């Protein structure tokens, strides 16, 4: 019996030693990999997919899923632009693009290739900008340009709610940063390395009346609602996560339009006063094809169009050869700067022939986010990559505000 017990003890001992040796052998390799990656967890575990958050935060997930953020690495314009950037740049892995479109690479710099393969698959299993990419940030260094976020990759989720509900999924910690514009400008301020040669994307937002009044980016782009944050919890003040901007109701409050029409015999004049109500450039000049179109349409007798004119607000970039380009990563200078600056008021005057033989005319003024534009090969490639082709949202104009009035034309026969 003693021999049997002695043998069992030896066997158990050998198993423990073997297990310990496995740990010793495996640990240095894991540590080396961690040192190389800057993180010990696998990427997909360090930044859980938003689908996991959906289990408890259905409302937030559905709002995010409809937003541009959820398509940060899968939209056709981004995919085409990324390929163009990688082809012309020394940055073959597209690290500059992923810094904002998939900020996980800030902690996993060796994983840009992983994202490229995900994108090329056509059905990426990783988020570009999802719940984890924002709510694991615990600090932003504003002294760096662009500002640099710091991640805490543990079971702690940061946010703006002051009294988060206790739960078993993660620890919830309120952080003032999530109620400050500084959090948003981490990605929306400027492209890395372009600070000296190109103007800021947002313009002088820090000096705007809105910012000085204490209203931050979140006031408009994460508007306050009343409901539940997690499934089944009590209703309270919460933030909308559809991030309205170009798409969403917030654009209707972006501009105030005043139109004055004067008939001067055979010639008429329309003065359009456009007051931007937003504390940043309109449109934001990234991507480089961002454009706001001001359209004046005049309808005469029998509602026939007698006059039509468009004017554009945009920033036009110039490449090293001085040619226009919609790719800001190709830009070395600005050829045209016509965006509405923060809270700017601008007057556009249109002069046109008065519609003949008409008792009145309809004056229609529309401000619209214009569809994607650029070189023919770029636009065609975007169309080919988009699942819906020309029906993709990139090709759809988005109305901001519209004015219409009927003006009598006395003595006009």
Each residue of 215-258: pLDDT tens digit?
A: 999 999 999 999 888 898 888 899 999 998 887 777 878 999 99
Query: Domains of the chain: which residue ranges?
Result: 50-239, 251-408
pLDDT in the model for residue 194: 73
Can you give the pLDDT at residue 289? 95
> What digits encode the pLDDT tens for the residues 313-327?
999 999 999 999 999
Lowest mean pLDDT among 43-57, 158-172, 185-199: 185-199
pLDDT more than 90, % of the chain: 70
182-210 burial, b if ≥16 CB within 10 A, otherwise e?
bbbbbbbbbbeebeeebbbbbbebeebeb
Candidate ranges 8-12, 21-25, 90-94, 257-261; pick with highest mean pLDDT: 257-261
Determine the average pLDDT of the residues in 31-49. 64
**How many CB atoms are located within 10 Å of the residue 269 CB?**
14
Distance CA 200, CA 64 (A): 27
Average pLDDT, rounded, for the chain: 87
Residue 146 has what pLDDT? 73
pLDDT, one tens digit per residue, over 364-406 is: 999 999 999 999 999 999 999 999 999 999 999 999 999 999 9
Q: What is the pLDDT of residues 326-344, one digit of tens each?
A: 998 999 999 999 999 999 9
Measured on CA atoms in the order 364, 367, 372, 375, is the torsion positive or negative?
positive
- Helix or strand (DSSP H, E) at 54: helix 50-54
Strand pairing class (156-159; 171-174): parallel
Beta bridge partners of 309: 296
Bridge partners (DSSP) of residue 316 are: 336
Q: Which of 80, 70, 113 is nearest to 95 (CA)?
A: 113
**Residue where the block lists tokens 């200078």:** 333
- Asked if 327 and 84 touch (Cβ cutoff 8 Å), the reply is yes
pLDDT for the residue numbered 154: 86
Indicate if the pLDDT at residue 24 is higher than 60.
Answer: no
Distance in angstroms (rounded) separating the CA atoms of residues 205 and 202: 6
Provide the pLDDT confidence category of residue 23 given band limits of 50, 70 and 90: very low
Fold category of 251-408 in CATH: Immunoglobulin-like (2.60.40)
Q: Find all residues with CB under 8 Å of 283, minimum gap 6, and list them.
A: 246, 290, 291, 292, 313, 314, 339, 369
Question: pLDDT tens digit string along 143-163?
Answer: 877 778 999 998 899 999 888
Calculate mean pLDDT across residues 132-149. Answer: 88
Nearest residue to 78 via CA among 63, 61, 100 = 100
**Cα distances (angstroms) measured from residue 41 to each of 47, 118, 130, 138:** 9, 19, 18, 18
pLDDT above 50: residue 14: no
pLDDT at 3 over 60: no
Exposure of 170 by Cβ count < 10 A (0-12 exposed, 13-18 middle, 19+ buried)?
A: middle
């Amino acid at each position: 019996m003693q021999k049997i017990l002695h043998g069992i003890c030896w066997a158990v001992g050998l198993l423990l030693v073997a297990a310990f040796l496995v740990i010793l052998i495996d640990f240095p390799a894991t540590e080396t990999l961690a040192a190389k990656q800057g993180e010990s967890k696998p990427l997909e575990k360090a930044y859980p997919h938003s689908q996991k958050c959906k289990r408890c935060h259905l409302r937030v997930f559905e709002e995010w899923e409809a937003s541009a953020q959820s398509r940060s690495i899968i939209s056709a314009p981004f995919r085409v632009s990324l390929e163009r950037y990688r082809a012309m740049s020394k940055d073959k892995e597209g690290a500059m693009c992923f810094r904002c479109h998939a900020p996980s690479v800030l902690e996993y710099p060796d994983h840009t290739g992983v994202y490229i393969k995900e994108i090329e698959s056509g059905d990426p299993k990783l988020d570009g900008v999802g719940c984890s990419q924002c709510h694991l940030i615990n600090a932003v260094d504003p002294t760096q340009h662009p500002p640099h976020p710091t991640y805490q990759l543990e079971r702690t989720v940061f946010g703006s709610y002051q009294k988060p509900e206790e739960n078993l999924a993660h620890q919830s910690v309120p952080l003032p940063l999530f109620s400050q514009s500084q959090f948003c400008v981490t990605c929306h301020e400027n492209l890395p390395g372009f600070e000296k040669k190109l103007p800021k994307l947002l313009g002088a937002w820090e000096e705007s009346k809105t910012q000085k009044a204490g209203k931050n980016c979140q006031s408009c782009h994460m508007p306050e609602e009343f409901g539940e944050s997690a499934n089944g919890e009590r209703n309270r003040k919460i933030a909308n996560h559809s991030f309205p901007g170009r798409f969403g109701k917030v654009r209707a409050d972006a501009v105030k339009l005043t139109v004055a029409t004067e008939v001067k015999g055979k010639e008429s004049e329309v003065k359009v006063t456009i007051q931007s109500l937003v504390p940043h450039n309109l449109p934001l000049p990234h991507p480089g094809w961002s454009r706001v179109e001001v359209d004046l349409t005049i309808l005469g007798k029998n509602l026939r169009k007698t006059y039509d004119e468009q004017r554009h607000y945009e920033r036009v970039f110039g490449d090293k050869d001085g040619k226009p380009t919609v790719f800001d990563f190709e830009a070395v200078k600005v050829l045209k700067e016509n965006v509405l600056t923060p809270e700017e008021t601008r007057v556009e005057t249109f002069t046109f022939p008065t519609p003949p033989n008409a008792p009145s005319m309809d004056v229609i003024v529309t401000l619209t986010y214009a569809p994607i534009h650029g070189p023919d090969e770029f636009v065609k490639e975007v169309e080919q990559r988009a699942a819906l082709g020309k029906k993709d949202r990139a090709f759809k104009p988005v109305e901001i505000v519209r004015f219409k009035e009927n003006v009598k034309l006395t003595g006009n026969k």
